[in-house]
Structure 1
Amino acid sequence: MNILVVEDDSDIGAMLSRGLSAEGFDVTVVGRADEALETARQYNPCAVVLDMMLPDGSGIDVCRALRSAGHSGPILFLSAKDEVHDRAEGLGAGADDYIVKPFVFGELVARLRTHLLHRLGESHADRVMAGRLVLDPSTRTAKFGEVHVRLTEREADLLALLMASPNRPIARGEIFDRLWASQGGASLNVVDVYVGYLRTKLAPVGRAGGPQVATVRGRGFMLDLSAPSAH
């Protein structure tokens, strides 16, 4: 899911780009109001994280312009202005949330995901997303752009587990406990077998520029969003 960050402080912009990318989002950072409107027009971002004070205008005006242009995704203000009337003005302009600087990054991500999930609607709430990879557990289908991959039930369970914590290794033993411990007769090696199956199924996703399952030596397996071809 693509996120537009409008922030004229280069340090904050870089931090948000790194952090949100690590959380599985595609991130574009701009520092001016005119750049924000042009980028939103071209790429139609899923959500916007918007500074209140910009060098060439107000975040309030940007927010209003985005809503007037038909942007329906979440808009979250990120501002050093912390008075009640500032919050009221931001929300009144059409924003979904208002976060005051200095802020906790984890809280920003949690609020962003909550608003995105709300926009997706209840019909899509069961879908699992990591970056541009979407898994529908009900049909056991993974989708990356135009690439569709059909999975077995256990392959889909394994992918959903890895997608829940992208770019973070999950130990082999934890995977086994979550997916196979309740079934008699299975051994720890079954994890490696199904990781192999899943890698084969996700090969078309990797060729399209999407993520693959990476082995992190001594730590387990993870869905690597930054290096799709890494095994």
Structure 2
Amino acid sequence: MNVLLVEDDADIGSFLIRGLKADGFDVTVVDRADKALGAAKEINPCAVLLDMVLPDGSGLDVCRSLREYGHTGPILFLSAKDEVSDRADGLMAGADDYIVKPFQFDELVARLRAHLLHRSVGMDERTRLIAGRLILDLETRQAHFGTVHIKLTQREAELLALLMHSANHPVSRSDIFDRLWATQGGVSLNVVDVYVGYLRGKFTDITRVGGPSIGTVRGRGFMLNMAGNSALSR
């Protein structure tokens, strides 16, 4: 799997190359915005790690260009800019994730692999998200597991879709907030816990028949556990 790294800091670039190669990835590095799209066309990377600020332009423009070109793999911003507005701009430009520097390498790889796993979650006719036997109909906002059906609100369906994309991997409160509420003023981080509670309540019947459960991974966030009931804290 070839990762395209767009990073002009030589020390960070060397650190990431060593770590990613040790973790089984091939790495192609460019240090300027004007080289990124050409490199992506040449190697067709499985994912792109993208600095926000580059010597000759903005990572936001690079991200938009990659999406316009047709790159469908994960794009993860790596940036020292840590304002909520910066994260929102990155996600709105088409990125899958936004990781603030300095970061722990293990967390970066975990997020990268989780996003790559997302791509293996099936879409049926672009209206249904499928993870194992769990099906989320994005048009009717109904979730199905066998003969059990639950009706969701729009925001609950969006939250479930996010957890399904990260099935068996925890998603932090801040990541959920950034993806679903960052652009909505006057909302605190606690809204994530509230909606996870709503979704858990509706998931009771699905979990009872052996379907997935929504657990809390202490210190890491929330996870859709495809094995059903588990020892995860509630």
User: If the length of structure 2 is used for normalisation, what is the TM-score?
Assistant: 0.52
Equivalent position of 2:4 in the other structure: 4
The one-letter code sitting in structure 2 at the alignment partner of 1:29 is V
Equivalent position of 1:107 in the other structure: 107
- Residue aligned with 2:113, SS: helix
Equivalent position of 2:32 in the other structure: 32
CA displacement 1:138-188 (0-9 Å, x = unmatched): xxxxxxxxxxxxxxxxxxxxxxxxxxxxxxxxxxxxxxxxxxxxxxxxxxx
Equivalent position of 1:77 in the other structure: 77
Residues 1:44 and 2:44 aligned together: yes
CA displacement 1:76-123 (0-9 Å, x = unmatched): 000000001000000000000000000000000000000001112359
Equivalent position of 1:54 in the other structure: 54
**Superposition deviation, residue 9 in structure 1:** 0.1
What is the alpha-carbon distance in structure 2 between the residues aligned to residue 16 and residue 6 of structure 1?
Answer: 11
- Residue aligned with 2:37, SS: helix
- Residue aligned with 2:73, SS: coil
What is the alpha-carbon distance in structure 2 between the residues aligned to residue 120 and residue 66 of structure 1?
Answer: 21
Taking CA–CA contacts closer than 8 Å with sequence separation of 6 or more, which of the two structures ends up with the larger relative contact order? 1
What is the alpha-carbon distance in structure 2 between the residues aligned to residue 23 and residue 120 of structure 1?
Answer: 20
Equivalent position of 1:94 in the other structure: 94
Say how many residue pairs are matched. 125
Matches for 1:79-228 after TM superposition, within 5 Å: 79-121=79-121
What is the alpha-carbon distance in structure 2 between the residues aligned to residue 78 and residue 117 of structure 1?
Answer: 20
- Residue aligned with 1:117, SS: helix
What is the alpha-carbon distance in structure 2 between the residues aligned to residue 36 and residue 17 of structure 1?
Answer: 16
The one-letter code sitting in structure 1 at the alignment partner of 2:25 is F
What is the alpha-carbon distance in structure 2 between the residues aligned to residue 12 and residue 84 of structure 1?
Answer: 23
The one-letter code sitting in structure 1 at the alignment partner of 2:63 is C
Structure 1: gaps of 5 or more residues:
127-231
- Residue aligned with 1:120, SS: coil
The one-letter code sitting in structure 2 at the alignment partner of 1:9 is D
The one-letter code sitting in structure 2 at the alignment partner of 1:81 is K
Structure 2: gaps of 5 or more residues:
124-130, 133-234
What is the alpha-carbon distance in structure 2 between the residues aligned to residue 115 and residue 102 of structure 1?
Answer: 20
Q: Structure 1 runs of 4+ off > 4 angstroms? A: none
The one-letter code sitting in structure 2 at the alignment partner of 1:49 is L
RMSD of aligned residue pairs (Cα, Å): 1.6
Larger radius of gyration: 1
**Superposition deviation, residue 34 in structure 1:** 1.1
What is the alpha-carbon distance in structure 2 between the residues aligned to residue 113 and residue 122 of structure 1?
Answer: 16
The one-letter code sitting in structure 2 at the alignment partner of 1:32 is R
The one-letter code sitting in structure 1 at the alignment partner of 2:75 is I
The one-letter code sitting in structure 1 at the alignment partner of 2:73 is G
Amino-acid identity (%)? 74
